[in-house]
Amino acid sequence: MKRLFLIIAATLAIASCGTNGKLTKYDDAHFAALQERIDNHTTPNNVKCYYTEATQLNLAGKILDGTPNPYARVDTIKYKGFTTGENRQVRSSAGLMVLFKTNSSVITVKTKWGQLYVAGNTMPLAYGGYDLYIKDKKGEWTWAGACDAKQGKDDQEVVVVRNMDREMHECILYLPMYSEIYSCKVGVEEGSSIEPLEGAFHHRIMFHGSSFTQGISISRAGMAYPLQFMRHTGLQVLPLGCSGNSKLQQYFADVFVDVDADAYVFDSFSNPDYKTIKARLIPFIDKLIAAHPGKPIIFQQTIWRENRNFNKFTDANEQAKMDMVTTMFHDILKDPKYKDVYLVFPDACEPGSHEYTVDGTHPDDHGYYLWAKSLEKPILKILKKYGIQ
């Protein structure tokens, strides 16, 4: 009897991973129809593709246009002061995406590489690969495919997805999260069409921040929390994450002065220590409100890092940062001069859980999902005050 119970329980557990969790008996005709689909690929094995440079489609997510390399995020010839590491970071394609429509059954990419990145706490699929989302029949952005783009191997054809139907699909293709690229060409099968996707997202919301905002430890290039926030809300996000280097620097503020956005969101308290926050926060804010009067400037408190759970040194450092932020905003939020400055409190874990970390600092994909969801209500409430909906 016990053995029978275990077999039934196991069967139900397997069934629960299906679409409806029901034990359904299918006839031979059902499997014959499925076999026909298996035998008749929509994408031929010898498919030939033609290529379009991403800049000829809709290359989105850039805070500033006109960079010498169109796949860089900041013009490091025009803007000075960056360290060697920061210079490399702002020239990477992190957070950039290609928006397009196609009726091809297959989507491929070819890349020309610049500086390459390797890390132990982030998947190669994220820092050196592409990530594809397609809008489904319900109007939701749904994951469709990802590929390792073979870093360092220029112009190698890599398949992102194949065997789709030949209906017109709206697509987001996320570019590599850290490595530098000089060219990204999107391939579709000969005889199909590809064109820019316009109007899928609205307004312009800039995000700047640390490795969290860049997406360190994500598994795919489209999983950084600003990108998830964009898919969930329909707001066009312009992300500039710089791992380890979001420290309220004035030379970064010089860049943001020139960014035309409807709102500005900052993850600025994760990298600097509490003394740096105290010294730099007000001058940083003052430069922003002078350049963008009447626009919302939203700061995020840093999240709880799991590596502080038993490390007393780390715990004290992290608590000092958090406490300096709330101390300063206690006064900032009362000052009429800063009426368009806000503080929100993101969360990358669930109550009572400490499971969503990769390395003690960075969340995993689910942690970043929770972060994005935790921002939706407070940020959308703020934006509504400014007519941004």
Task: Report the range of poorest mean pLDDT among 13-27, 32-46, 97-111, 319-333.
Answer: 13-27
What pLDDT score does 189 carry? 97
Cβ of 53: how many Cβ atoms within 10 Å? 14
C-alpha 97/C-alpha 253 separation (Å) is: 24
What pLDDT score does 18 carry? 54
What pLDDT score does 19 carry? 64
Percent of the chain with pLDDT over 90: 87
Read out DSSP for 28-42? HHHHHHHHHHHHS-S
Tens of pLDDT along 49-71? 999 999 999 999 999 999 999 99
**Is residue 118 pLDDT above 60, yes or no?**
yes
C-alpha 166/C-alpha 105 separation (Å) is: 5
Domains belonging to the chain, first-starting first, are 49-384 (2.60.120.260)
What mean pLDDT comes out for the span 181-209? 98
Tens of pLDDT along 345-385? 999 988 888 999 998 999 999 999 999 999 999 999 999 99
Contact, 242 vs 290, CB < 8 A? Answer: no
Confidence band of 221 (pLDDT split at 50, 70, 90)? very high
**Is residue 335 pLDDT above 70, yes or no?**
yes
Cβ of 299: how many Cβ atoms within 10 Å? 24
Q: How many residues does the chain have?
A: 389
